[in-house]
Amino acid sequence: MRCAQFRTALSARLDGEPTGLPDRRLDKHLARCEACRGWQEQAERLRGRTAGVDPDGPSAAWSTNLLASLGGRGSGAGGPGVTGGPGQGDDGSGPER
């Protein structure tokens, strides 16, 4: 058997899925194969890392960020051109008198 097949089985075992191989066989290969031992350690570490992260966390932060960037621009001062200012109302009303 190849290492790749053992690693597939190992990752399945980490996920609690059926490996299709007896545990004894997996462990025997692990005992012999340093590369696969390292691989499993890494896989376990990765699993530990992702397990601690809430899957809803990143997307919530992302949307909050998006709202913040949108709100920073949209709200606040009305911008130029809202108040009429001088010059309006002078048109056409002067000459009549």
**CB 45 to Zn ion: min, Å:** 18
For Zn ion, the closer of residues 14 and 33 by Cβ is: 33
For Zn ion, the closer of residues 3 and 67 by Cβ is: 3
Give the angle subtended at the CA of 63 by the CAs of 59 and 66, to the nearest 5°: 140
18: left (phi over 0), alpha (psi -120 to 50) or beta: beta
**CB 52 to Zn ion: min, Å:** 28
User: Which residues of the chain form contacts with Zn ion (CB under 5 A)?
Assistant: 3, 33, 36
For Zn ion, the closer of residues 9 and 36 by Cβ is: 36
* Contact between 9 and 20 (Cβ < 8 Å): yes
